[in-house]
Chain A
Amino acid sequence: MSTATTSFFEPASVTSSGRPVLHQAEVECHLLSSVDIEPEPTTTANSLDFPALKSGLVILTTYRLLWLPSNVTTDNSNPIAIPLSSVTHIFSTKKSIKSMFHSPRIRFQVSIHSRSVVVTLVIRGKGDIDVFLTKFWDCWRGRAWEIGKDSGGGSSSGSVPASGSVSGGGLYSSDGSVRLVGVSGILRKEQEMWESTDKSLQEAFHDLNALMRKAKEMVILAEKMRQKLLSGSSSQSSSGNDEEMGSKEEMQDWLLSVGIVSPVTKESAGAMYHQQLSRQLADFVRIPLEKAGGMINLIDIYCLFNRARGTELISPEDLLQACSLWEKFDVPVMLRKFDSGVKVIQNKSHSDEEVFARIKNLVSKPEALRSGITASDAAMTLGIAPAMAKEHLLTAESKGLLCRDISPDGFRFFINLFPEINSDDIHL
């Protein structure tokens, strides 16, 4: 039964946390929960009946209308996507006595492969239908998918005039601007490109809405700069300036962190805010977690996540709420609270035993037998932050693996030999 549906509508791909995979410049606009999709029964030979899809999550983006089943594992149906380009008409809602008692319905006509059908969205959950309808109209009218196809290539508008002037000989090119050859020509091209980039940046920052629209261009720009850095650093010889390399790497990291084009906001998700945020966070956290060695402080994630979001920042309570929701979903990360109160995010596959084995190894080396280890020593060996290393050492201590030594030299840990000291053979 579900195969008929999926053959009519195209399937939508979804990440492991249940978030939809968006195209490059696709931006989420609105979320509605508990929505059914039903076909309107007609008698025309051309139209097609498809079985109704019950109680799912509808996500409206600038390109498509997505429907995700609420329970991805148990439901038979698959997530589907309706491209806005195939919507031919959106019907206005008729306010009648009947409509006050029923769940609100939105009807629109979809035409795929020269077959058309009128689709009804029955909104059973709590959601503001007027706001959704307005955004639906906006996105459909905005035709963002066409703009995306036009510019192609991935370069911002600045390079178009530059590439157009390589035609024939002569000092003056076809569009009348002076075309210089040689080094000054190259410099001129660069100059033009930077000017237009600058102009584009200025326009973008004037208006936050405009910024959202320019989001795609910004990300492309960031990508280009990153490519330039990468090619710059690889073409230089290995004896290049060390300091320069360092700051280039910083720049690279910084650009990578400006990666999320479509942040989940309270407006677009309504009551589903924390759930969607939670899923998005699970996706985001994967990379920093690996870089940090499998365990990362909640405060660090707060900073990284907000920086990536750019404008729609989340509060610490939201973050905490999002993390605690992970228990309900099947995501590979979890929140963990240490005895000292420090909260961290770690992989579910993280094993304390393995860490303890490594600590034991470290603390049994001759140097450590003599003078113990500090949190920094452990941090260097384990490849994690010193604060995290200290938590591990304290946990190992409470398990009886280590014991502490506090002195003017600092806070050190030794392997715990107390259990093995017995009173008989103890003399020096």
Chain B
Amino acid sequence: MTGRRRSHCPNCAQGFFSFKSRSTKEMQKLGDFKLPQFFNYPPYFTLQPVRDTREKQVQLWKEFILDYCRTQKIFVIELEEEFPLFSNHLIERSLSNEAREAFLSALVSEGRAEWLDRGHRKCLILWHRIQDWADILLHFVRDNGFEDSVMTVEEIRTGVESRGNR
């Protein structure tokens, strides 16, 4: 399909987004993270009232946040701080506080995040589940023969073996 035909296919998400990206010459990135196309879709930044639309929107945001945090190794999101995912300066849109809290709460309900304070201002993102982290630690210890020895948290974090592991 040529570019022009795409923009005449209104029901096609591909059509819309390729139309948008033609105006931005380079691929949009945040660091080395490739942004999804719907990041340029203005309604994405408004909390949708209609139930089905909202469900889809929440799902997209959850995956988006988890992916980003996983690749950028971000563990904590502070709601009131500037978080690159929550604003798109190209289309001049950003998520309201209510929307941010809604999406993070959805992650919390799914078990992929936890609130660090009662006021819901800081959120710990578990892009691995706690159980998964436990498994990873266990494998790390076994693979490197650290059973039966004592390690400090610092050693686990920054020791030679850890840095070698991704």
A interface residue numbers (CB < 8 A to B): 364, 366, 369-372, 397-398, 400, 403-409, 412, 414-421, 423, 425-428
Contacts and interface: CB of A to CB of B under 8 A. Distances in A.
Interface stretch (B32-40, B114-122, B131-139, B145-153): B32-40
Contacts of A414: 41-43
Contact of B34 (A366, A403, A420, A428): A428
Interface string B20-33: 11000001100000
A421 B60 contact: yes
B57 A418 contact: yes
Given A428-B28, A428-B37, A415 B60 contact: no
A404 B43 contact: yes
Contacts of A420: 11-13
Given A418-B56, A421-B13, A426 B36 contact: yes
A358 to B, nearest CB: 14
Given A419-B56, A427-B35, A427-B37, A397 B50 contact: yes
Contact of A403 (B12, B14, B53): B53
With a 10 A CB-CB cut-off, give which of B12, B50, B60 has the most chain A CB atoms: B50
B10 A415 contact: yes
Contacts of B3: none
B63 interface: yes
Contacts of A369: 7, 10, 16, 19
25 contacts: A366-B7, A366-B19, A369-B10, A397-B50, A400-B52, A400-B53, A403-B48, A404-B43, A405-B43, A407-B46, A407-B93, A412-B42, A417-B16, A417-B38, A418-B48, A418-B53, A419-B52, A421-B13, A421-B38, A421-B56, A423-B60, A427-B34, A427-B36, A428-B27, A428-B28
Contacts of B41: 414, 417
B45 interface: yes
Contacts, number: 90
A404 B48 contact: yes
Contacts of B46: 403-407
B86 to A, nearest CB: 14
Nearest to A363: B10
A398 B52 CA distance: 9
B102 to A, nearest CB: 14
A423 B38 CA distance: 10
* Interface pairs A-B: 8 shortest CB-CB: A364-B10, A426-B36, A420-B13, A418-B56, A403-B43, A405-B42, A405-B43, A427-B34
A156 B50 CA distance: 62
A404 B45 CA distance: 9
B118 to A, nearest CB: 29
B92 interface: yes
Contacts of B52: 400, 419
B92 A407 contact: yes
Nearest to B57: A418
What band does the interface of chain B fall in when counting residues whose beta carbon is under 8 Å from A? 35 or more
B49 interface: yes
B43 to A, nearest CB: 4
A372 B45 CA distance: 14
B17 interface: yes
A364 B41 CA distance: 14
Contact of B35 (A397, A400, A428): A428
A403 B27 CA distance: 26
Given A417-B41, A426-B37, A427-B34, A403 B50 contact: yes
Contacts of A425: 14
Contact of A400 (B13, B14, B39, B50): B50
A418 B13 CA distance: 8
Nearest to A364: B10
B13 A428 contact: no
A328 B26 CA distance: 65
A404 B7 contact: no
A119 to B, nearest CB: 65
A403 B51 CA distance: 11
B28 A372 contact: no
With a 10 A CB-CB cut-off, give which of B16, B45, B57 has the most chain A CB atoms: B16
B47 to A, nearest CB: 9
B50 A426 contact: no
A170 B42 CA distance: 85
